[in-house]
Amino acid sequence: MLAITLVSPDPAALAEAVAAVRAALAVSSEAVLGEGALDLLIDGPPVETHQAVKAAVDELPVDFAVQPVENRRKRLLIADMDSTIINVECLDELADFAGVKDKVSAITERAMRGELAFEGALRERVGMLTGLSVDALQACYDDRVKLNPGARTLVRTMAEHGARCALVSGGFTFFTSRVAQAAGFHLNRANTLIEADGRLTGTVGEPILGKEAKLAALREETAALGLTPADALAVGDGANDLAMIEVAGLGVAYRAKPIVAAQAHAKVDHADLTALLYFQGFTAAEFVS
């Protein structure tokens, strides 16, 4: 049995999507999960069902997931931070304090699209921060960093229902430690900015946490819990998230670059991060704020 989950902030679009899916497929039952979210159950082949749903809702502001009902609720959440759990790319915002945001953000964009190797791009960008006062890190966090809508509810709801929640970022521990606490993650992994005499040295601790390290984190955390990657939900937006998204039982592209959106099991372009709870079959009544 497959669950087709449809989520949208637009009630009219959601109703149109439901009608289109029902017209295309032999839906056996329907269940409302919350305002703007519902499940349609179907007994059919996964690939063909996904293709049919995509064709039915492609022009509508509706996010969807198609997956087996079995093992739908995941026991590990592994999430990217920048532009996924939070609203900004922290490195780009730090570069603004250093007066080099345009140069740094251009490299960030190319790296997130998969056009540049992440590790080299990170070293280059951090090098442009040489001499920046470490006080800028706290100012950046206080002034620029906000949790994305639904992030806290996503993490706290999964944690409340027994899932392990890990924030794994190609960014920096200064930010992940604070974001993890604000959102309710159990642990965080990221890179370390090297400083001396109250200023950034323009270097980053080695080895750099990038694409392969994120995948390794997923494998290590599932193994530690006696689980497999099929029990994990991974979410991110950039090319360095792609490996963990592809391997996870449910890999979600959130407001993602094209290379990621094309390979993920599901994508969220319209709803907030609570869509990931609906994808797992949670009802709004089960949400923990």
pLDDT tens for the chain, 289 residues: list them: 999 999 999 999 999 999 999 999 999 999 999 999 999 999 999 999 999 999 999 999 999 999 999 999 999 999 999 999 999 999 999 999 999 999 999 999 999 999 999 999 999 999 999 999 999 999 999 999 999 999 999 999 999 999 999 999 999 999 999 999 999 999 999 999 999 999 999 999 999 999 999 999 999 999 999 999 999 999 999 999 999 999 999 999 999 999 999 999 999 999 999 999 999 999 999 999 8
Q: How far is CA 18 from CA 12, 40, 241, 266, 283, in A?
A: 10, 8, 31, 17, 18
1-70 belongs to which homologous superfamily? ACT domain (3.30.70.260)
Backbone angles phi, psi at 62, to 5 degrees: -130, 130
User: CATH 3.40.50.1000: which residues of the chain?
Assistant: 74-289
Enter the tokens of residue 59: 């022009």
Amino acid (one-letter) located at 46? P
CATH architecture of structural domain 74-289: 3-Layer(aba) Sandwich (3.40)
Q: Mind telling me the catalytic residues?
A: 80, 82
CATH 3.30.70.260 in the chain, residues?
1-70
* Residues in contact with 58: Cβ distance below 8 Å, sequence separation at least 6, in sequence order: none
Positive or negative, the CA dihedral 23, 26, 30, 35 is: negative
